[in-house]
Structure 1
Amino acid sequence: MAVSVATSRFSVRSWLLIFSMQAAMGMTASAAFSQDVILTQPSPQIETAPFYPPDAPPARRTPLPDRRQDIEEQTVTADYRISALQPDSKGALWVGSWQGLAKIDPKTGRILNRVSLPNTTVGALAQDRSGRIWVGTYEGLVRIDPRSGEITAQNFALPSNRVLSMLVDQRGYLWVGTDAGLALISPDQGLLMTTVKNLPGVSANALTLDPLGNLWVGTLNGLVQVNTASALLMRQIDTIPGKTVQALDFDPWGMLWLGTPTGLYAADVGIQRTIQLVRPPSAKPAAKSTARPAGKGRSANHPSPKSRSQSSRPVSQPPAIEKIVFVSTDPALFKLRTVTQLQGRNVMTLHFDKLNSIWVGTTTGLLRVNPFNGATGGEIPYLPSSRVLSLSPDTGGKLWVGTSEGLAWVSTETFRGKPHATFLPVGR
């Protein structure tokens, strides 16, 4: 038996030697393999014993979603990325990072509060209609009282514990996007209402609402439209360049803007609109009493003739203005156009400001884009990092920017960035 094993090992080494010689002579791999099989076959009269390694290698396994953070943290000692920004109804700005959650005054930059979380890796933020702050982490969902910073609810049975995106719909319900599907939460009762686990494209990277109230989801394989009332899928679009949709936002005219690893795109998703003349409410002030103190032969209940003539003047009505009204959608229509100036850019986030300019954060800088012609105003300098992950325009009179190495704000006059020390490495 020992002789047979030795013969088998010798045959393997011979095979390797012949293969090396043939490769050096320019023979193809397939021809070498076929000839080697013939040359190294044992004689039919000799039975060789199989040779087994002492232990079989362990099977490869894909890590579970809630374990991916542990794997990522093994490669970096500390990560100061600002992953989410959420202005609240009281004028404060909530800053979510991989070092925890903080609340700041966006006008002065003063840190108002630091919130202790069960897991400090924040993936998404949202505010519900009651003003409560919802924090999506790598270990689930947490509800925060904005006044005290205390946790009032946590740990829902989500499709995955890794929360990537959140959005409050027109009814006030909270949609939570994870790397394994969608969940719908009742914010008041704190109840999980439904889940969408078999989401095409699997991961809900980005969420936005269209003007008709439907939910659009950016996934690993394009776009998915979801009916918010029934949680049913309306359509799937898997022809997006770059495949993975990382950022979404609708403009005031019903066009969908999306960012992928290959650039910025605008899509006509078939939303039908019309123009209506709308007359704003009159700015007529409240009527003031014209009564005067009794005396000099005049009753207090009878105004003077001059007062009567002034009060009887007709009040001018403000002029009617044009307003876009969205009426329906065509599910068969989807037209995509590319923003040439951003071709090849890895777009991570995008937001419209009050002037209808698009702020686009990429892995190589922050740019302001004109949505009508695609022109850019150049990259914003002096940010902590060129890798931009989150944006909050028109907050405290500034544009707040979350990067992979900390928080910054941009002046709307000079368009230059300035770092903010909400979360920074020690000694920086």
Structure 2
Amino acid sequence: MWLRLVLGIVALAALVVPTLLVINAPTMPHRARRVPPVALPNRVVPKEELPPVEPVAIADLAPEDARAFNASIPFSTDPNPAARPFHLVGAVDSQERAVDCLAAAEVYEAGDDALGERAVAQVILNRVRHPAFPKTVCGVVFQGSERSTGCQFTFSCDGAMLRWSPTPVAWARAREIAKMALHGAVFRPVGHATHYHTDWVVPYWSASLDKIVALHTHLFFRWAGWWGTPPAFNRGYVADEPKVALLGKLSPAHLGEALPVDEASNLPADLATRMAAIPASAVPAPVTGDPNVFLILLPKGVTAENFPALAMKTCGERPYCKFMAWSDPAKRPPRLPPTGEQAAAMSFSYLRDDTAKYAKALWNCEQFARPVLTQCMRRAVPLQPFASPTPTPVATPAPATGPSPLDGVRRKPVPAQNKAGAAAPATPASSTPGSD
């Protein structure tokens, strides 16, 4: 009897309790889908106007929202013809540099994935033939790499080539795919695509281009209108590939020469190689209380040419970094702000602000000669103190005797007499500014 009663109560509780939990469950607020913070462009550039090649800027969206937005953009229904075969020409050393630049883009952009590498290689060769881009393979791959932000292929300016290197097997495979693409192999699915991105981000240019194909998690685009058609890809290849110092550790063909200094930031194009030569022990700690500010004494043995490399290695991945360095330990301030004398003795400075897309290196050219004045700090001209003139005391006239002069009557002034009987000056003596 008691057993049946207990079992009945348990069974009833098993039904009632879950029901009550469902009925009284708290209501979760619905999170609205975020949309890109600015209106995306949707303009077809006419044939008479060369389409701009803008730095990659990503909308502030969560990955799931970006995927939803990308899915809302329909694929183009226009034909997607394959590109013409590309045939590499030029000197042997130039051809080797082209192969290695293309291989680097493949492996750093797509990883060790043959399908993705072939797609990346085709996009780069499409750009080489398009009037809006450089006319060499290396020029296309490393376009904008001298800047800390704003490069066309992210791996060339975000430090990826310093953080890791492909395995020998992956590098050999990427080079073989590059050789095939440069000697006639065409990857048909991407057609004349000149842009691509992963589906979890939304670049601001995506809505103004035609989406033509998706491969794995990557979406490929071509320019809308005439600039995305085969006749637009009409520029010839310049068979003189530059050396890119960033590739020095992977490619012997790129050793021995550096690209020129970027005038906007004063950072050398071979910055990655210089950074690799800076020992980890030379990287200083930030000032107490501010992890983004460094006030350092320049290590012995680091030349003026390597100051930017030391600054960049010290700043690391910080989006904002202020690096200031001194040669004289007596003039290095322990904290900000430096005094006027300390600021005048500063040997080198570097400021990076990714929010403002700003980066600049400057030298004290009184200490380190530089080839151009734009690399020099502006020297403040000290202001000379201005001494107020010291007036010469004026003799006070002796009180007049006799009746007071009448108001409104012009009278010839009577010079006051001093005790010696000489006339006192009628006006103060002139004084020279700054004289005692």
TM-score normalized by the length of structure 1: 0.23
Larger Rg: 2
Greater RCO, CA 8 A, separation 6+: 2
Q: Which has the higher strand share?
A: 1
TM-score normalized by the length of structure 2: 0.23
Q: Which has the higher helix share?
A: 2
